[in-house]
Structure 1
Amino acid sequence: MGKKSGKQNKLIPESHFRLTHPSVSPASPIVDTHTHLASTFELYRHKYPAGDYTTVFDFVRGLYVPAGVQDIVDVWCEAPVRPLWREFADSAVTEEGRRDLWGGMGYWFVMGVHPHQASEYTDAVEADILEAMAHPRCVGWGEMGLDYHYDNSPRPVQQEVFARQLRCAVRLGKPLTIHTREAEEDTERILKAEVPKDHKIHIHCFTDSPAFAQRLLDWFPNLYIGITGVITYSTNTDTSTTVRNMFAVPASSPPPRLRIVLETDAPYMVPAPIYADPAFVAPDAKGKKLPICHSGMVPWTAGFVADLLPRGEGEGEGAEGWDAARVMTVARENARAVYGV
């Protein structure tokens, strides 16, 4: 018992999950365009079995709503499809449900099969996804794509399943949530072969080369780069360069635009700048790490992005200067452009 208690004491108290950022306001709300809410809540309950929140709705009302989260896009990407998606989605259909269960937060979702599980993609799985596509809270197909870092499914299978899902989504006119990692050539080739140029695309948690990002941005005018807390990590410089490059344009070019959406990919990737917050200087938090990320942490990523951008120079978006609030405002507009939320 003593050993178990010692491990428990190493966890940061859950009170430190209750975070508010000064940049959040009705004009600059948090919109998390890619999160895994069920996994986040399940990890929270695993880490804090005696925690304050016993249902996912308690969790959202206790952490997300007070932090200023206006909307989330929840991602279901397992095969077989988890039936739990329907409980979440149905509870958000009515205004009463959104008010009483979700605390007024907008709940939306996308569904697809992750490349890790491409080998499990079947006609039955596709039928379940197609059923979900008709739900009024469904705003896209994904996440889907290619992952050559882990190769959990054979690459030819990943490619076949990726193309198959793209064809379904395009036929339905659904926005695309794309996972791509260390598969630049094949991702670009398949997207250009299967997707109309004007289709709405979200490249989720981008970490590949800035040149690859620029080729996609140039080809697809309605494509946006998803930025998670991983941009704040010292081990990752490509994502920061990708964002800076959006403003490294010749004088004769159109004014630059910040073509990003903000996301968490929660429960993963707590933004590093969060540990500079005064809340983490307290004795019970000092030196400890948060075991989960949640949607209320988006503003710390936004602040990091703002520091990458020009300070009131030139013309176009952000010419008056950038801060976390302005990044969140623009990202919120972009989320509406992609997903309609």
Structure 2
Amino acid sequence: MGKHSKKKYQVVDESHLHLPAHSSSSSSSAQIVDTHTHLVSTFSTYQTKYREGRYASIFDFVKGMYNREGSHKVEAIVDVWCEAPVQKVWKELADSALSLEERESRWGGTEYWFVMGVHPHEAKLYTDDVEKDILEAMAHPRCVGWGEIGLDYHYDNSPRTMQQNIFRRQLRHAVRLGKPLTIHTREAEEDTERILKEEVPKDHKIHVHCYTDSPELAQRLLDHFPNLYIGITGVITYSTNHNTSAVIRSFTLSSSSPMRILLETDAPYMVPSNIYASLPTLKGRLPLCHTAMIPWTAEFVAGIAGEGWDAERVMRVSRENARRAYGV
């Protein structure tokens, strides 16, 4: 019996992760703010894919990947901690961003902020001890919100009743503390809307992250919560996703309705598909997403929004919304 060889998968060269200057990078007025990234997971993915990679630490990665000459500077990131039990390394990163001197020397000038909560996938692992750790993190000066929390009925990694109970429990703490909310919702529209309206005051600040549900739900939430923002990731560029684009169109149909969006990556996931047009020599696909890809998501959003919009304007709007939502 003959042997059959399998073609070995080759990870693209690390140099392709260093993106070319986006067409909007000539202006310094539209710096990048990534309102939802998983920095430890992104760096871990990088290390797995590039064991001999040039960056030995998270700090080296951020300085080298996010602040390249000739491209947009990454002004700020909101790092998301949503595992149970809580990863203790959160404090090391947060403490390293306390002083201006350390933010310059360790982060290359990028402002580091974070939110913390327990993802609905891990609701079954939520305990009093986990909650105690989250409450400790809420008091840190670099903590700007509670999340990501919510409901996910696509995977049902935790029982739905448990997801709902833990969602409510976290919402009540966040409301009591006045902390902005980072919400995850997938295929749970009715329950997400009902629980948010029952537990959260109308004027509370809310970021519905990586929005892919119906435009109708988005509109109902936007109408009810005046300080709610819709998170836009690279998934908007995928041909299988029509809902997120429809939300953008709904904003532009009314000149009196501001575009209440927040640009984000959800890195290391969801590389914007339109980025490959800027990488003509690349053969294959990028193995991870990172914050410097946001201009390509902004470009796609501008294309949907139409006349009068470009990537720079979309990033400026998102940047102002990040100040309103998180104070960053």
CA distance in structure 2 between the aligned counterparts of 1:188 and 1:231, rounded to whole angstroms: 22
1:65 offset after TM fit, Å?
Answer: 1.6
1:201 offset after TM fit, Å?
Answer: 0.2
Question: What's the counterpart of residue 142 of structure 2?
Answer: 137
After superposition, give the CA deviation of every residue in 1:106-127 in whole Å (9 maximum; x if it has no partner): 0000000000000111111000
Q: Which amino acid aligns with 1:45?
A: Q
RMSD: 1.2
**Equivalent residues in 2 for 1:50-199, closer than 5 Å:** 50-66=52-68, 67=71, 68-199=73-204
Worse overlay, 55-64 or 16-25: 16-25
Question: What's the counterpart of residue 41 of structure 1?
Answer: 43
Of residues 263, 285, 290, the one that matches 1:289 is: 285
Identity of aligned residues (%): 67
Question: What's the counterpart of residue 327 of structure 2?
Answer: 340
How many pairs align? 318
Of residues 306, 312, 317, the one that matches 1:325 is: 312
CA distance in structure 1 between the aligned counterparts of 2:123 and 2:230, rounded to whole angstroms: 23
Report whether the alignment pairs 1:274 with 2:261. no
After superposition, give the CA deviation of every residue in 1:167-215 in whole Å (9 maximum; x if it has no partner): 0000000000000000000000000000000000000000000000000
CA distance in structure 2 between the aligned counterparts of 1:209 and 1:255, rounded to whole angstroms: 22
Which stretches of structure 1, 4 residues or more, deviate above 4 A after TM superposition?
A: none
1:22 offset after TM fit, Å?
Answer: 2.7
Q: Which amino acid aligns with 2:12?
A: I
1:241 offset after TM fit, Å?
Answer: 0.3
3-state SS of 2:229 partner: strand
TM-score normalized with structure 2 length: 0.95
Report whether the alignment pairs 1:221 with 2:223. no
1:324 offset after TM fit, Å?
Answer: 0.1
After superposition, give the CA deviation of every residue in 1:78-109 in whole Å (9 maximum; x if it has no partner): 00000010111000001111010000000000
3-state SS of 2:148 partner: strand
Q: Which amino acid aligns with 1:257?
A: P
Question: What's the counterpart of residue 16 of structure 2?
Answer: 16
Q: Which runs of 5 or more residues in structure 2 are unaligned? A: 1-6
Of residues 301, 304, 307, the one that matches 1:305 is: 301
Question: What's the counterpart of residue 257 of structure 2?
Answer: 256
1:11 offset after TM fit, Å?
Answer: 1.3
Worse overlay, 15-24 or 99-108: 15-24
1:240 offset after TM fit, Å?
Answer: 0.1
CA distance in structure 2 between the aligned counterparts of 1:115 and 1:248, rounded to whole angstroms: 34
CA distance in structure 2 between the aligned counterparts of 1:234 and 1:112, rounded to whole angstroms: 31
3-state SS of 2:67 partner: helix
Worse overlay, 15-24 or 221-230: 15-24
CA distance in structure 2 between the aligned counterparts of 1:198 and 1:119, rounded to whole angstroms: 30
Question: What's the counterpart of residue 316 of structure 1?
Answer: none
CA distance in structure 1 between the aligned counterparts of 2:269 and 2:248, rounded to whole angstroms: 21
Worse overlay, 13-22 or 218-227: 13-22
CA distance in structure 2 between the aligned counterparts of 1:291 and 1:117, rounded to whole angstroms: 25
1:21 offset after TM fit, Å?
Answer: 1.6
